[in-house]
Amino acid sequence: MGVVIQMRVNGKTQQHEVEPRLLLVHYLRDVLGLTGTHIGCETSICGACTVLLGGKAVKSCTLLAVQADGADVVTIEGLAALGGNGGLHPVQEGFWEKHGLQCGYCTPGMILAAVELLQTNPKPKEEEIRRAIAGNLCRCTGYQHIVDAVQYAARKMAAAKR
Amino acid sequence: MIPAAFEYHAPKSLEEALRLLSRHGNEAKILAGGHSLLPLMKLRLAAPRCVIDIGRIQALRYIREENGRIAIGALTTHTEVLESPLLRAKCPLLPQTAWEIGDVQVRNRGTVGWSLAHADPAADYPAAVLALDAELVAASVHGTRTLRAMEFFVDMLTAALLPGEILTEVRVPILPPRTGTAYRKLHQPASGYALVGAAACLTLGPGGIVERVAVGLTGVGPKAYRAVAVEKALAGKKASEKLLTGAARHAVPEHVEPLSDLQASAEYRTAMAVVFVRRALESALARAQGKPR
Ligand SMILES: Cc1cc2nc3c(=O)[nH]c(=O)nc-3n(C[C@H](O)[C@H](O)[C@H](O)COP(=O)(O)OP(=O)(O)OC[C@H]3O[C@@H](n4cnc5c(N)ncnc54)[C@H](O)[C@@H]3O)c2cc1C
Ligand code: FES
Ligand code: FES
């Protein structure tokens, strides 16, 4: 039996009838075609599937689409628009500038986890950045460049506010 | 990994949820944050016929001071506990514990109530609510009742909730002056759950005497417990490092059979329980003495 759900994804209202057991990540990828949200482990560990739900980072493989009914969702595809400068979001730019990625599999989730951090803590210490991405695994970079990328974004966002 | 099909209900009030739960009985599972239940459903270790999603009941989401205690609605997330100014000021043990749970994403979704109702032997809050002698409020269509933390954890994954009951509130005390609290945890390196988690709450009296102390332990045995022998070894004595070290040796009493698994043998858990109880007590004492730690 289907359930009709409605949510705003990247600023656009979406409405679909879905099976209650449909996971949010499958809704985003298979129903909406937003394949930027990756599936890594499927077991709530790797964070590749991280999206923002009501501004908070969540693992979309551990959420039913019906649980997000009525919510505001941001995926990597919608992030640039939040940057407010017409181009890439400062965190995306940081990953570009500082070599924050190699294969890129973990990157969308990493970026969204970092965005949540910078919303609440605009000047994070290295230790705070590492803690904020503790739920996101990267098998390539060794994390150092990711930390650099987030620091770059923090500086850039602070400069833009001035 | 997709859960088996189920019938979905999203009640808007507690009353409606309780009615649904009593109608569907043990064919139904409550869904709160979903961060314990959904992983089980994806692995098909759980396949409820009916899921009652209480996530929309805003009336179960609050942290407020009430009759000299702090009442926390069951749907409050770990992040909300962590960031609550009220809890940080008046009962910091809960934010200290929430800080050690999972990762940001888990803390944004997981809720206090179901973390307790699930009675996972490796979950963190059970140690804290035991050390705080918290009260837990359960509701059903027949009314509500209040349980003490000490009687709440019955066995592995079994809480003292009756069929048809929903945990609605946790009540913790406002801690008196010269009280220090701490939660110290040995993380399972892959899952982040507690191999051993020790929560301590210690109040100093005149002359540096331990006036009141409570220690809760999780991860060690099939259910969380109060380390009563540790408390007895401390109460009424003048606090010192030596006293704490000696008391911590009683962390695992005879009646607790330590878990033994791939990550940690029973011997290792027992040894670590002693270490982490000592560390929790040391931090709690330093804080009670007003030293930052
Ligand atoms: C990757 C990951 C890491 C984690 N790490 C930790 C950690 O380090 N420490 C920790 O403590 N926790 C950890 N958790 C668990 C997390 O804290 C959970 O969110 C929490 O334990 C359960 O809360 P929930 O709201 O998600 O519950 P849900 O999953 O929605 O529900 C949990 C269970 O409680 C049951 N339940 C609900 N109501 C009742 C009732 N009235 N009577 C009986 N049973 C009921 C549900 O049916 C379900 O079985 C982790 C989870 C994940 C996914
Ligand atoms: S795919 Fe969701 S956490 Fe790994
Ligand atoms: S860049 Fe390859 S997993 Fe992170």
What mean pLDDT do residues A37-41 have?
A: 97
Answer yes or no: are the C-beta atoms of A45 and A62 closer than 8 Å. Answer: no
Nearest to B273 by CA among B200, B209, B212: B200
Q: Provide the pLDDT for residue B190.
A: 83
Tell me the backbone φ, ψ of residue A64, rounded to 5 degrees: -80, 150
Give the mean pLDDT per block of 10 residues along chain B (293 residues). 94 96 93 94 95 96 96 97 97 97 96 87 95 96 95 86 93 97 94 94 96 97 95 96 96 93 94 98 96 71
CA end-to-end span of chain B, whole Å? 44
Element (H, E) at A106: none
Contact A20 B6 (CB under 8 A): yes
**CATH number for the domain harbouring residue B151:** 3.30.465.10
Residues of A with CB under 8 A from a CB of B: 1, 3, 19-21, 23, 26, 42-45, 47, 50, 53, 56-59, 62-64, 66-67, 69, 113, 116-117, 131-132, 134-136
Of residues B5, B6, B105, nearest to A58 (C-beta): B105
Q: Does one domain contain both B183 and B270?
A: yes
What mean pLDDT do residues A108-128 have?
A: 97
Contact A42 B6 (CB under 8 A): no
Q: Is the pLDDT of residue A8 over 90?
A: yes
Q: Is the pLDDT of residue A29 over 90?
A: yes
**CATH number for the domain harbouring residue B206:** 3.30.390.50
Evaluate: CB of A120 within 6 angstroms of ligand 1.
no
Residues shown for chain A: 162
Answer yes or no: are the C-beta atoms of B123 and B192 closer than 8 Å. Answer: no
Parent domain of B77? 59-173
Average pLDDT, chain A: 95
Question: 10 Å Cβ neighbour count for A151?
Answer: 17
Cα–Cα distances in angstroms (integers) from residue B144 to residues B150, B157, B238, B246, in the given order: 18, 22, 42, 42
**How far, in Å, CA of B4 to CA of B29, rounded?**
13
CA-based nearest distance B153→chain A, Å: 26
Which architecture, in CATH terms, is A3-78?
Answer: Roll (3.10)
Q: Provide the pLDDT for residue B293.
A: 61
What mean pLDDT do residues A111-136 have?
A: 97
Largest CA distance in chain B: 63
Q: Is the pLDDT of residue A21 over 90?
A: yes
Contact B2 A26 (CB under 8 A): yes
Give A82 Cα–ligand 3 centroid separation in angstroms. 24
Domain boundary, last residue among B126, B145, B173 = B173
**CATH number for the domain harbouring residue B35:** 3.30.43.10
Q: Provide the pLDDT for residue B158.
A: 84
Q: Is residue B293 part of a domain?
A: no
Domain boundary, last residue among B53, B76, B91 = B53
Q: Does one domain contain both B183 and B169?
A: no
Residue B152 burial class via C-beta count within 10 angstroms: exposed 0-12, middle 13-18, buried 19 and up: buried
Q: Is residue B1 part of a domain?
A: no
Q: Which residues line ligand 3 (CB under 6 A)?
A: A 101-107, 138-141
- Using the Cα atoms of residue A113, residue A116, residue A120 and residue A121 in order, give the sign of their dihedral: positive
Q: Provide the pLDDT for residue B24.
A: 94
The residues spanned by each domain of chain A are 3-78, 81-161
What ipTM score was computed for the predicted complex, to two decimals? Answer: 0.95
Domain A81-161 fold is DNA polymerase; domain 1 (1.10.150)
Q: Is residue B169 part of a domain?
A: yes
Number of domains making up chain B: 3
**How far, in Å, CA of A63 to CA of A157, rounded?**
31
Q: Report the relative pairing of strands B63-66 and B69-73 from DSSP bridges.
A: antiparallel
Question: How does pLDDT run across A135-162, given as a tens digit for each residue?
Answer: 999 999 999 999 999 999 999 999 988 7
Q: Is the pLDDT of residue A85 over 90?
A: no
Q: Provide the pLDDT for residue A160.
A: 87
